[in-house]
Chain A
Amino acid sequence: MEIKKTAIAGTLESSDIQLMISQADSGIAIDLQSDVKKVFGDQIEAVITTTLNEMGVTSAKVKAVDKGALDCVIKARTIAAVQRAAETTATPAWEVL
């Protein structure tokens, strides 16, 4: 899936994560800000990367501000942001869920 424009999903409220996805030349680059980065940083980035891969996104720039989100929330926000960024909100990627 191709990222066509910048899109945002999620909030900065507790237990949520705010994800901003934009175009990149190649590869996936994640800039993660989280108070629990030391402990869960790798896990959060893994969830985002796996979700992007499942959706067929090969190049994207991701800015994530985590406020203690659970994996299921991170996955949901990633899917929402990608669908907005790829302009495919009318055709949800059910198989990824």
Chain B
Amino acid sequence: MNLNDPAVFKEWQEFLESLGVTNFQANERQQIDTTLGMYNERGNLVATGSVAGNVLKYIGVCNKFSTQGSHFNSIVSALMNLLAQRGVFHLFVFTKVKYTTSFQHVGFHELARTDLGVILETGDTGVTDYVHRVAQAAAKQNLATASKVGAIVMNANPFTRGHRYLVERAARENDLVYVFVVNDDVSLFTTTERLALVKAGTADLTNVVVVSGDQYMVSYVTFPAYFLPTQDDAIRYQTTLDARLFRDQIASALHITTRYLGSEPFSRTTGIYNQVLQTELPPTVTVKVIDRQTSGDNVITATQVRRALADNALATVRNWVPTTTYQFMQQNLTTLQARIQEGMNINGN
């Protein structure tokens, strides 16, 4: 369906509204790559569904003149085949609680749920495979038998001494610490760069295992508000799902008992996220909020480091980052500055 055609869009929106879908905000709609529609012999829309990357969205089905579930199965099947042609086999869906069984009937697996909605996944890989890979990474560092396990999730854009301080603290208090690096490539420093800098900056800490957070931690899939401007209630909803997914799928499988957070004086989104984590994770996972490290009178933040890059004043943040990060920024100064000039946002997360 071509939603840019006003008539088609109107039909689509009215159809979904009749089924109780109400959020047609531009930032939700703009993410849509493709929309499919199914029409009956009289030309009426009877089912629709959209894809945004590897996430199914805006699925709506009218069962008035058909066997329960048949249109739903057709539309999900059509969307899956469409994504398969694009080489996407691992997909997610956010939906209302009442539709979770419909998705489970077509092979989806529920990852987390709140009163407002659930998140499910299906495909050639899943959270079980992910957890297995992470555990293997720990085993490679001979940490498979560690009994006290901590975790930190960070974007590290780029890795600063503030991050380092948090990791050191966790490493002192645990036998094994997993550092999950946010996987989405929407930051000034690319995912590969961020992951490499975290690894380089923690290489001397033998009980620290640095892995990608994949699509399960603070990703575009579970927590789009981290990357897009969003209202408070939506942030609260998304972070609750993210927190529960961490608690039920990741922490339990990897025996994580403590999650470390940096206190968040500046970012509203991260502030809400920290609050929600403190409500959702205990008692299964203890949450420890560590005050940010200061350098002189200033709190160390990656945002300041990025600003220094933009202002061509790298030397001012020399003491804020580990040598490995500093050297990387010196060597790649022009590339990084070019990215900022091309419009890469440096003030967000």
Which residues of A come within 8 Å of B, CB atoms? 6-8, 11-14, 18, 20, 22, 33, 35, 61, 63, 65, 67
In the bound complex, do residue A65 and residue B107 qualify as a contact, i.e. CB atoms below 8 Å apart? yes
Specify which chain A residues have a CB less than 8 angstroms from the CB of B124 in the assembled complex. Answer: 6, 20, 22, 61, 63
In the bound complex, do residue B77 and residue A12 qualify as a contact, i.e. CB atoms below 8 Å apart? yes
| A78 CB to nearest B CB, Å | 15
In the bound complex, do residue A7 and residue B84 qualify as a contact, i.e. CB atoms below 8 Å apart? yes
- Tell me whether chain A's interface is mostly helix, strand or loop, or mixed: strand
B 50-83 to A, binary, CB cutoff 8 A, 1 in contact else 0: 0000000000000000010010011011101100
The one of A6, A22, A33 that contacts B107, using a Cβ cutoff of 8 Å: A33
The one of A8, A14, A33, A63 that contacts B105, using a Cβ cutoff of 8 Å: A33
In the bound complex, do residue B84 and residue A11 qualify as a contact, i.e. CB atoms below 8 Å apart? no
23 contacts between A and B (CB under 8 A): A6-B123, A6-B124, A8-B81, A11-B77, A11-B78, A11-B81, A12-B74, A12-B77, A12-B106, A13-B73, A13-B77, A14-B70, A18-B106, A20-B89, A22-B89, A22-B124, A22-B125, A33-B104, A33-B105, A33-B107, A63-B124, A65-B107, A67-B73
| B296 CB to nearest A CB, Å | 52
How many of chain B's residues have a CB under 8 angstroms from any CB in A? 19
- Tell me whether chain B's interface is mostly helix, strand or loop, or mixed: helix
Which residues of B come within 8 Å of A, CB atoms? 67, 70, 73-74, 76-78, 80-81, 84, 89, 104-107, 122-125
Specify which chain B residues have a CB less than 8 angstroms from the CB of A20 in the assembled complex. Answer: 89, 123-124
In the bound complex, do residue B106 and residue A65 qualify as a contact, i.e. CB atoms below 8 Å apart? yes
| B101 CB to nearest A CB, Å | 12
Specify which chain B residues have a CB less than 8 angstroms from the CB of A63 in the assembled complex. Answer: 107, 122-124
Specify which chain B residues have a CB less than 8 angstroms from the CB of A11 in the assembled complex. Answer: 73-74, 77-78, 81
With A11-B77, A18-B77, A33-B107 as contacts: A6 and B89 at CB distance below 8 Å: yes
In the bound complex, do residue A8 and residue B80 qualify as a contact, i.e. CB atoms below 8 Å apart? yes
Tell me the nearest residue of chain A to B90, going by C-beta: A6
Specify which chain B residues have a CB less than 8 angstroms from the CB of A65 in the assembled complex. Answer: 106-107
| A31 CB to nearest B CB, Å | 8
CA distance A61 to B125 in the complex (A): 9
CA distance A35 to B106 in the complex (A): 10
Specify which chain B residues have a CB less than 8 angstroms from the CB of A33 in the assembled complex. Answer: 104-107
| A2 CB to nearest B CB, Å | 16
| B87 CB to nearest A CB, Å | 8
Specify which chain B residues have a CB less than 8 angstroms from the CB of A8 in the assembled complex. Answer: 80-81, 84, 89
Specify which chain A residues have a CB less than 8 angstroms from the CB of B105 in the assembled complex. Answer: 33, 35
Specify which chain B residues have a CB less than 8 angstroms from the CB of A12 in the assembled complex. Answer: 73-74, 76-77, 80, 106
Specify which chain B residues have a CB less than 8 angstroms from the CB of A13 in the assembled complex. Answer: 70, 73-74, 77
CA distance A20 to B91 in the complex (A): 13
Specify which chain A residues have a CB less than 8 angstroms from the CB of B67 in the assembled complex. Answer: 14
Tell me the nearest residue of chain A to B74, going by C-beta: A13
| A3 CB to nearest B CB, Å | 10
CA distance A31 to B179 in the complex (A): 31
CA distance A13 to B71 in the complex (A): 8
CA distance A87 to B129 in the complex (A): 24
CA distance A48 to B336 in the complex (A): 51
CA distance A55 to B136 in the complex (A): 32
